[in-house]
Each structure stands twice: as C-alpha cells, then as structure tokens.
Amino acid sequence: MKKGKVYIVGAGPGDIGLITVKGLDCIKRADVIVYDNLINPQLLESAHPDAELIYAGKSFEGHAKEQHEINQLLIDKANEGNTIVRLKGADPFVLGRGGEEAEALAENRIEFEIVPGISSAIAGPAYAGIPVTHRGIASSFAVVTGHEDPSKEETSINWEKLATGVDTLVFLMGMNNLPHIVDKLIECGRSPETSVALIRHGTTPQQKTLTGTLDTIVEMSQQADFKPPVVIIIGEVVKLRDKLAWFENRPLFGKRVLVTRARAQASALSKLLIERGAEPIELPTIEIHDAPETNELDRAILELPEYDWIIFTSANGVIAFWRRIRALNLDSRWLHYVNLGAIGPATADALEYQGIHPDFIPKEYTSDGILVEFARKNINGQKILLPRADIAPKDLVEGLTALGALPYEVTAYTTRQPPELISQVREKIAERNVDVITFTSSSTVTNFLNSLGNNRNILNRATIACIGPLTASTAREAGLNVNIVAQEQTIPGLVEAIEDFYKKL
C-alpha cells in the first residue's frame, strides 16, 4: 500500500479568519485530522463529512495524548495511505512541537509538508493594539518560551542577555511562571517600570488585556484571576495600546449572541456579528425542507403563462421554486410571462443568483409593505402566485384579495423543529451566559420556546432582538420582553439595531 502524506498545519491564533488559504484547503482534503486544544473548533466544520477527527490536545489540566503517542498516530495513519492534517494552534514551528513531529515522520520515510500559521506571538499583541516593533521605540523582539521542559537540568534561556538585549519580549505559555519571569528580568537589569501586557484568548471574542509594569503585573494578574492561555508582552511598545487598541473597542465586543436561524442561513448573521466583535452561538431552531408533495407547485409552474405576478416572500421560496423549475426541465426563460416581486434584498439576491432581476421590491420589507405599494397599482382581477412556507401567515393572501387580486398560495417548502434541538439547547446555552437572543422569524421564536420547556431562566437575563414587527409580535404574544426590533427587516438591519442598542447603553 502506498504511504499517505502528512500536512503539519498552523491553524492560526484563534480568529477563524486568520488561517491561511492553503491551511484551509488542506483541512478540506484531509482523510484524518489530528487537532490540538486551542484551535478554533469551527475550522473542523470545513472538513469532509467522512474525515476522521482525532483530538490530541494538551493543557495544564492534562493531555489527551502524549507527544510520543501523537507521533506514532501520524505514522500509523500515514502507513494506511491517508492524507493527514496535523492541525496545530498558531504556527507549528514557533514554540510548538511541530519540529519533533516532522522529525518522526522523516525518520519513518513518510512524506510531509509544513503549512505555516500566524503566530500568537504577533497576532495576540496586534489584536490588543500593540505592535511588537515600532520605529523609534523598538527595533527588535524575541519570542521566548515561558514553560521550559521540566526535565531539563538547566535553563537554556540566557536571562542576562535577554533582559536588556532585546527591545520587546514576548513570552508564550508563561502565565503560570509569570513571577519567575518577572524576577529574572528585574534581577538581570530590566527596569521594574517596564510596561507589560497580558493578553488572554487573543484574537477571539473572549480576549482580555491587562496592562501594568514588571513591578505590578504579578499582583494585578492575581487580583484579576488571569489564567492561561496568555501571551505576555514586555517593552515600551505596550504603551501604544492606549492609541491603537481596536479589537476590544468594537461595538459588540465580547457579547454572546444566540443565532436561531436555519443552519444553512446562520453563517451570514454570524459573520456580521463576528465583524463587530460578538461571539455568535449558532443554535438552529428550524430546518428547511422541500415540500413533500410537489404536484401543486409543479402545476402552478406549468400554468405560469396564466399568471400576472409571482411574489417571493423569502430566499427559501426562491431556492425551492427553482429546484422544481429544473426538475421540470425548464429554466428562467419560462418566467418571461410574469412580473416578479421580492419582499426584500435577501430574496432579491436569491433571484439575482438565478439571473433574474425582480420587477418589484417594496420600500418596507414586509407583507404590509407589499400591500401598501400594490394598493397604488391596478391589480384588480390579476392572478398572483405566492410560493411560500407551509406555515406562512395569511395576511398577504387576505390583503391581496381585498385589493381585488386573485392570489394563489402554494407550499414551496416546509419548516420544522430540528429533532436534536432540545439536547442542543442544554449543551450550548445551559451553562453559558447569553447576552442577546436573535429571532429572524416567528417559527424561530416558537421552536426555541418549545425547546426550553419550563427552563426559561436564560430569557430573564438576555436581550431579545427581532428582525421585524411580525416576529416581535409573536415573541410578545409568547410573553417575551422584546428589546430590539430592526427598522430594516434584513440581517444587516438586525445587526445594526443590536449595535445601536448597545451604543445607547
């Protein structure tokens, strides 16, 4: 059997956006991924569904696997002919043990490749607003282990030269040895007034930064109960943080936001939240499925020449509709008979993706917005097709009928509560503080509350944010105190409303 290949990949410092393009490509192609403790778990979602995921993390609480076991695991999996990714936090060759793993592979004549990652030694300080070098302040920096091999009889750190020979010192894995590091630097000539920053969980929404001096930082860290993982940076560049701090100054920094959208759609909301500093917790409360019976929708599609309008009230409706268009061996040319309406930008984008520009988008992205503007048109006697969800409210159908139109509502897709929702609620939020719960439809409200049962404590301490008035009305009818309602009924509008709420606070 031909031997496989091992890619030793640096996952970056925590922010999922900081992995390299090549590193992400390796993850997608891997048969086996052996991953560390401090990687962003979202990276594993890019793996092939059949990929074998093996946790080999190490922490101060214990090791899932010892280093010799990891080395042997890589060898064994490669001998089976697999493509393996050894996914390591930050960069595999900067105070990691990637070099030892590469040696073991080389000794066993197994092909390997190193994919560098962004080191936490520079990324952590950068996200805290601290450049490791700066003209006129620091022209050199050193990265030092703060946790030497305990089996070594003597230290390999030349403290006397290090203390005063380098402008900026960055210690990794040194939080538990902070008192010793401070004592050695002062003992060897570094001024006790030298600025120090401790950066915990750098580049993630949990990032916290503590600044002081060599003389004060140990006591300050004890009072703040600072625990690993921490990057320690020592030098005058730390003072630049007052001007350059950016990551922790973002409007939603550190806020935990529950995203209840369907899994396929959650990423758009999560991405916007991450850009503003929030930590999204994805908990899909609905699943989208094609209608179990398509005869009615197919018949309506084949009869499109008889219709004046198709109005799409969601991107899901567009997607399901187009699946049936293709199943009937038709394409967008079949729609030249009718005008097309989209309830809002996201629905319009779904049509644009199919090469169709909608004829109508209301100024207000709601059913009421459609009715207000259609009231100005002469739609008396016009046939209007509404491909919608099975649980869509009847207000649009009733409103169009009142305007003299002939609406025909057909189920294009169905929504249902995910079977694992109740267990996921317990797993994801039972012991975590959630600052904001977002609802993007009435069904997300209903399903989420059903999953909670009598355990509604989370609702007492969380801010409730709804995408629009209809969703907010459902939430209020269910007894929720709605704090935020987006003025523009879109995902960007919802995020902007959450941001405005916290700015006012």
Establish whether 36 is a catalytic residue.
yes
* 242: phi then psi, degrees, rounded to nearest 5: -60, -30
Strands 5-10 and 111-115: parallel
Contact yes or no for 93/119 (Cβ under 8 A): no
Helix H or strand E encompassing 477: helix 469-477
Cα distance between residue 495 and residue 465, in whole Å: 9
Taken in order 54, 60, 62, 67, is the CA torsion positive or negative?
positive
Contact yes or no for 321/304 (Cβ under 8 A): no
Please list, in sequence order, all residues whose beta carbon lies within 8 angstroms of the beta carbon of residue 505, skipping any fewer than 6 positions away.
none
From 5, 58, 208, 239, the catalytic residue: 58
In a 10 Å sphere around its CB, with 0-12 CB exposed, 13-18 middle and 19+ buried, how is residue 184 labelled?
middle
Please list, in sequence order, all residues whose beta carbon lies within 8 angstroms of the beta carbon of residue 97, skipping any fewer than 6 positions away.
67
> Which amino acid type is present at position 196?
V
Cα distance between residue 223 and residue 265, in whole Å: 42
Contact yes or no for 284/263 (Cβ under 8 A): yes
Cα 13–Cα 19–Cα 20 angle in degrees, nearest 5: 135
450 DSSP assignment: H
From 15, 36, 91, 167, the catalytic residue: 36
Cα distance between residue 163 and residue 180, in whole Å: 13
Neighbours of 357 (CB within 10 A): 9
> Residue 225 corresponds to which tokens in the numbers above?
């109960």
Cα distance between residue 315 and residue 60, in whole Å: 47
Contact yes or no for 89/13 (Cβ under 8 A): yes
Strand partners, 59: 62
- Strands laid side by side in the 256-259 sheet: 279-282, 256-259, 436-439, 463-466, 484-485
Token pair 């030793």 is found at: 8
Question: How large is the angle between the packed helices 469-477 and 442-452, nearest 10 degrees?
Answer: 30
From 88, 167, 173, 255, the catalytic residue: 173
18 DSSP assignment: G
Tell me which residues are annotated as active site: 36, 58, 173
